[in-house]
Structure 1
Amino acid sequence: MVLNDKPLFSVARWTPAWRLPEFNTLIAILLASGMVFAFAKIADEMVEGETRGFDESILLALRQPGDPSRPIGPWWLEAAMIDITSLGGWTVLTLVTIATLTYLVISGRRGSAGLVVASIFGGTLLSVTLKIGFARPRPELVDHLVHVSSASFPSGHAMLSAVTYLTLGVMLARTESRRLVRGFIFGVAAFLTLVIGLSRIYLGVHYPTDVLAGWCLGACWALICWMGARWLRPKGDAPEQG
């Protein structure tokens, strides 16, 4: 039935639950809570010494039998891991952050730039505080293939690479409306976080549980920053879709 050429009754468009902002926020909260719980569980087991067998078996499996100074694999794999691990160091993370901040500022997204600064600074402060608090010594079972000086738990490279690359990925993806491009940005950020953490274990400077704990907290922090960005919606940013 129509009235003045307009339908008298209309059917409301149904929106799938997974496309609702509230649903995405709920999933993010559940994931962040799970990561905090995982970190607390790893930390508790580590303090009680119950992760020692797991940690040492992984470290030894990555070294030549009978020679803890030589990693498994061809010579170029060790060289590649040293190059990869530098992607999670202070110098590279600082340069990547500055480059991204510059892009956000000159493209008029100063609100997102401010969130990036707050997120990465907060994540760095948390990482340093936890290292001092737990004060876990570095692995002594195998030789270190790169220089290290700070405490071991949680892995600063794993945590800060997750904080930096995932947070930057979130902010850059929010400026892009195409899902394929956003997925690519997230994929690159997650891949870099993964391989940097694995390189720390391969090089013998971290226990596997150090890296797992760093991933959990770093990803959790990035999720919190994503929720903050959705809630604040910095002025000038492109609207986030999906």
Structure 2
Amino acid sequence: MSALWGFLLLANEALTGETHAADAWVLRWCRTAGTEGGAWGPTWLPDVMRDITALGSPTVLILLGTMVWGYLLMTKQHRMAWLAAASCLGGWATSHALKGVFMRARPALDFHGTLAEGYSFPSGHAMMSAIVFLTLATLIARLAPRTSLRVYAILIAVLLSVLVGLSRVYLGVHWASDVVAGWVAGVAWALLVWALAHRLHIGQEDSR
């Protein structure tokens, strides 16, 4: 509930322009001084960031989700498999719906370091990477025999989600508040799915 409230507060501040000064500062900070639209850092860094941002692309997330879904079915975790699939598909629909509701424009094309289209708020890459990585990690963690393995899975999911979000700002295709909102929405979604799995005792099926 607190995550949802945080998203709504951030959405209100972003759309009323209260985050504009901070958003613009972060975007300019990622630019090389004196080079309009040029990305900050060594020449290889933009390519690395484009590789990272691809981890949050629909193609990669669909492939990952499908592979995990197949694994769960093969291990006879049928309810978990279908919960994971429903979570990913529902998250994708929600992300697109939110963009249509808020209709926030992206930063100017001069800043773009990769292809991007559609509305900006919330960041679809940030939100969907958080939804997919965190949801799959928390569900799979329920099958892990040791706490260290569960913590490892969740930490990797958090790291990937953070890197994808940061890459969107660095590449100039999102405002920082778009990415933060995407993270908050994604975490809220993953927590909801985790609570549902816990409530329904999903992940405790016999592996006969």
TM range (shorter): over 0.9
Residues 235 and 183 (structure 1), Cα distance of their counterparts in 2 relative to 1, 3 Å cut: closer
Aligned pairs, number: 206
Aligned to 1:200, what secondary structure does the other structure show? helix
Q: Residue 176 of structure 1 is aligned with which of 129, 144, 153? A: 144
The answer to whether the 8 A contact 1:174-1:237 is kept is no
Per the alignment, residue 156 of structure 1 pairs with 124
How far apart, CA to CA, are the structure 1 residues paired with 2:112 and 2:152? Answer: 34
**Does structure 2 retain, via aligned residues, the 8 Å contact 1:56–1:141?**
no
Matched, 1:119 2:98: no
Name the structure 2 match of 1:97.
65
Instruction: Give the one of 211, 226, 241 matched to 2:179.
Output: 211
Structure 1 counterpart of 2:104 = 136
SS of the equivalent of 2:63 reads: helix
Q: Is the 8 A contact 1:139 1:205 kept in 2?
A: yes
Is the 1:127–1:160 contact (alpha carbons within 8 Å) kept by the matching residues of 2?
yes
8 Å Cα contact 2:37-2:111 kept in structure 1: yes
Q: Distance in 1 between matches of 2:205 and 2:138?
A: 12
* CA offsets 1:202-242 (integer angstroms, 9 cap, x no match): 0000000000000000000000000000011237547xxxx
Q: Is the 8 A contact 1:97 1:164 kept in 2?
A: yes
Matched, 1:66 2:34: yes
Q: Give 1:84's match in structure 2, choosing from 44, 47, 52.
A: 52
In the alignment, is the contact (CA less than 8 A) between 2:139 and 2:203 conserved in 1? no
Q: Give per-residue Cα distances to partners, 1:157-203, cap 9 Å, x unaligned.
A: 00000000000001111111200011100010000000000000000
Shift of 1:119: 0.8
Runs of 4+ in 1 over 6 A off after TM superposition: none
Identity over aligned pairs, percent: 39
CA distance in 1, matches of 2:125, 2:101: 17
**Distance between the aligned counterparts of 1:82 and 1:141, measured in 2?**
16
Q: CA deviation at 1:137?
A: 0.7
Output the CA distance in 2 between the equivalents of 1:228 and 1:131.
26
CA distance in 2 between partners of 1:164 and 1:191 (Å)? 13
Residue 200 of structure 2 aligns with which residue? 232
Q: Partner of 1:234: helix, strand, or coil?
A: coil
Quote the residue 1:4 is aligned against.
none
Aligned partners of 2:5, 2:115: CA distance in 1, in Å? 31
Secondary structure in 2 matching 1:233? coil
Partner of 1:199: 167
Query: Unmatched 5+ residue regions in structure 2?
Result: none
Please identify which structure carries the higher strand content: 1
